[in-house]
Structure 1
Amino acid sequence: MRVGVPIFLFLAAAGFHTALTASLESAEKEDTFVGLEQLSNLQKRDQEEFEAAQMSEAVQDENTEEENDTLEEGMTDRDGNVEADQHESESDEDVDCMRQKREHLEANVEEADETTNLTEVE
């Protein structure tokens, strides 16, 4: 019986070690599977966020292009308006110049009439 006790203890320890190793490997495989599943979920979420960011960026680029087009049209309209305003101011200057010439001519005609009237009176 003295020989059986150590053999029994050795077999019990070996069995306990085998059971513990199998349990740890099983837990590790589960962790690995759960880790891969979580990693897969993270990759899916990252991919979705990346696609959403690309779409958002595309929409912003499109809006920016539309704003730039609108601004360019506004600038063109404004430039056209500035040219029209310059043309109008030139026209106004021409009208003022013509008005001054007419007033000057009228003044000369009046002076000529007065001179004629004075000459006739003498």
Structure 2
Amino acid sequence: MRVGVPIFLFLAAAGFHTALTASLESAEKEDTFVGLEQLSDLQKRDQEEFEAAQMSEAVQDENTEEENDTQEEDMTDRDGNVEADQHESESDEDVDGMRQKREHLEANVEEADETTNLAEVE
């Protein structure tokens, strides 16, 4: 019996140690799992916020791009109108120039006719 008591105490202490170690490891795993779960929730929220920010930025970029396109179209229309006005002005100038040339030529022809008529009369 004297030998059995220390062996019994040794085995009880070893069993208690094993049980305590297993319990601590289990609690650690739970904490790790809960920590990972919380981390996972945080990551999910961060990912959602990131995606929302990207969507918002994309919408802003799209709106800015549409505004730029509209402004470019307006500028193109204005440039087209200015070019049309210039072309119209040039056309008007061409018409005026042609009209002056025609009048000048008609005047020359009339002078030539008069000169021819005077030459024939003499």
Instruction: Give 1:104 shift.
Output: 10
Tell me the distance in 2 between the aligned counterparts of 1:113 and 1:7. Answer: 151
Give the TM-score normalised by the residue count of structure 1: 0.59
Q: Mark the runs of 5 or more structure 2 residues left unpaired by the alignment.
A: none
Tell me the distance in 1 between the aligned counterparts of 2:72 and 2:109. Answer: 54
Which deviates more from structure 2 when the two are superposed, residues 37-46 or residues 92-101? 92-101
Instruction: Give 1:77 shift.
Output: 2.0
Tell me the distance in 2 between the aligned counterparts of 1:115 and 1:33. Answer: 118
Q: Mark the runs of 5 or more structure 1 residues left unpaired by the alignment.
A: none
Q: Secondary structure at the match of 1:58?
A: helix
Tell me the distance in 1 between the aligned counterparts of 2:76 and 2:4. Answer: 105
Give the TM-score normalised by the residue count of structure 2: 0.59
Per-residue Cα deviation, 1:26-53 (whole angstroms, up to 9, x for no partner): 2223223212322331332133124303
Identity score, percent: 96
Tell me the distance in 1 between the aligned counterparts of 2:89 and 2:95. Answer: 10
Which deviates more from structure 2 when the two are superposed, residues 41-50 or residues 92-101? 92-101
- Kindly tell me the number of residue pairs found equivalent between the two proteins: 122
Name 1:87's counterpart in structure 2: 87
What is the RMSD of the two structures over their aligned residues, measured on CA atoms?
4.2
Instruction: Give 1:72 shift.
Output: 2.5
